[in-house]
Amino acid sequence: MGLQRLMSMQRNQQRRRRKILARNESVASANKQKGFPCQSDDDGDLQAGETTRCSIPDLPEDIWHHIHSLMPMRDAARAACLSHAFLCSWRCYPNLTFNQYVFSPKVFMYGRDISHRIDSILGNHSGIGVKILKLELFGTAYRNLDNWLQVAVTPGIEELTLRVCRLEIRYNFPCALLSDGVRNSIRYLELGFCIFRPTAELGPLGSLTKLHLQHVRITGDELECLLSNSLALEQLVLIQCKEIICLRIPCVLQRFSCLRVLHCVRLKLIESKVPNLSTLDLSGKAELSLGETLQIKNLSMHHPNAVCYARSELPSSMPHLDTLALSSNDEVVNTPMLPTKFLYLKHLTICLSSGTFSPSYDYFSLVSFLDASPSLETLNLDVTNDLRKHESILGHSSQSHLRQMAEDHHWHLKNVEITGFSSAKSLVELTCYILKNSVSLECLTLDTLYPYGSRCSDERSERCSYMRNSILREARRALVAIRRYIEDKHKSILGYSSQSHLRQMAEDHHFYLKSMEITGFSSSKSLVELSRYILRNSVSWYNLIHNSIMREAFTMIMAIKIYIEDRVLTRVKLDVVEPRGPHEPK
């Protein structure tokens, strides 16, 4: 009997569900026939206005609001069309983003079309609860922009991004918009392509941590006034702000740690007295007066002769650098070899573009940075492969002409990438030096194509970049140089057909050596010879561990099996630690 009652209840529930679904379908059909404003466009978009009743769980209103706020704006708009619960929360949806693609990812919208959409959405918004507002508008005057800002920029807002991209900067950002409630809550302010004239009457922005200005007409005095009222500021970004001549960052900004100043062409002086500045990104040749520089750990510099300047000046002025990026299109002086050191530098990037590049510039002089950086782990070098300005190594018949330097092992250098590698003699010499002296090197990447182009196989680009025939010809010459001068610097023992070529030394027993571990073991001939020597002469040892890395895994295993395993005595434990892929069981 109990089973029959249960089956009867299930049948009744199924009937009720079918009735609800039929009722919802009839409501949706009727709405579509009546032409409600919330209809699907050709691209699947929904416009505000229509709601279709759906059967949804009975949850508290604040939970529905929270769920709705987590949706992307397009999905949130669609949900509001389907549910009264979501329609209510849509009127206080917190994250508003308006740009040319947000309404239709496949169609670029502009002018009246996008203005009408924004009018419709903000006209139905209560203005309450907005946390993030992003307005990125291109190419057209937006007459209702002030009204949009009045609706959405309300007390409680945390992030405001306004970019009115036009050839002519006309829009004057209304400082009155930053009322007491807004000033107390806003944490991130980004303005682009507008006029911004803050004054002392604006008042303090107590929560502002990040300020980003691009193509903004603001003077140095106006900016200093704004900074003095932003005591919580941590990051300042200025890009192409052409009215700033002198940038002063007041010492009251105790949390300030990151400054980026790019392409501000009239800037003459950067003066900072903040105590915790740790990251700098600068372009141009403005005079620097930074006060305390011992805290600076990350530095990017973009200006002529940046490489020579950095090697000469930075070890003493910024001794604690961890990451250094240099970009120069006018490097006319070779990098000097100096006794000063970057004791803490781990990551170095150098970009050398042609510009008015000196034909006599010597890439080999960059060894100075390796010599000065005992802790260096990664090196990235981007160069232009223009052989009209550099001597090609292919004009020489032997390796005897390659310059040599005294051996100076670099114990921490693991990854080196040279983009735009060419057959330039000094570049090949630099690469050979790195191979010879980097005892922990794990990966050397030589990319023969221009550093700023995209390949046909690059998933980030739908098109192949145009490349001149001269670049492609030089890429082929670079490959010849790699095979002739570089590949044989790291020969594998597997290229030999017998064991007779292995070097031998007179027996010299080592009675106390019991354990040895070789990390990063490869099929390098000299490394195999060392292992065989130890096996032959260490009479007391019992444990040998070879730990390979992925790039040499297969050849390493073959080398061990052919040359080492048969030398291991039965009492000795041989562990070969093979690398595993990310999804392989241990």
153 contacts 177 by C-beta, under 8 angstroms: yes
How do residues 93-122 score in pLDDT, each as one tens digit?
A: 999 998 877 776 665 566 677 888 888 888
Q: Which of 12-16, 205-209, 449-453, 582-586 has the lowest mean pLDDT?
A: 582-586
Q: Which pairing describes strands 269-272 and 235-239: parallel, antiparallel, or unpaired?
A: unpaired
H or E element that contains 27: helix 2-34
392 contacts 355 by C-beta, under 8 angstroms: no
Confidence of residue 46 (pLDDT cuts 50, 70, 90): very low
Residue 395, pLDDT above cutoff 80: no
Angstrom distance (rounded) from CA 292 to CA 210: 22
pTM strictly above 0.85 = no
pLDDT at residue 396, as a whole number: 63
pLDDT at residue 144, as a whole number: 86
Residue 519, pLDDT above cutoff 80: no
Residue 209, pLDDT above cutoff 90: yes
Residue 26, pLDDT above cutoff 70: no
How do residues 67-83 score in pLDDT, each as one tens digit?
A: 888 888 888 888 888 87
pLDDT at residue 79, as a whole number: 84
Please name the amino acid found at residue 416: V
How do residues 306-349 score in pLDDT, each as one tens digit?
A: 999 999 999 999 999 999 999 998 888 899 999 999 999 999 99
Q: Which of 177-181, 216-220, 270-274, 355-359 has the lowest mean pLDDT?
A: 355-359
Q: Which of 265-274, 348-357, 492-501 has the lowest mean pLDDT?
A: 492-501
Per-chain mean pLDDT for the chain: 79
In DSSP terms, which residues pair with 261 in a beta bridge?
238, 282
Phi, psi (deg, nearest 5) at residue 445: -115, 125
H or E element that contains 121: helix 112-123
How do residues 349-365 score in pLDDT, each as one tens digit?
A: 999 986 656 777 899 99
Residue 42, pLDDT above cutoff 50: no
In DSSP terms, which residues pair with 417 in a beta bridge?
380, 445
Kindly give the residue spans of alpha helices, DSSP state H, lying in 158-238.
Answer: 180-185, 220-228
Q: Which residues contact 280 (CB under 8 A, 6 or more apart)?
A: 259, 260, 296, 298, 299, 300
Confidence of residue 542 (pLDDT cuts 50, 70, 90): low
574 contacts 541 by C-beta, under 8 angstroms: no
Angstrom distance (rounded) from CA 504 to CA 493: 15
**266, two tokens:** 């009239």
pLDDT at residue 10, as a whole number: 55
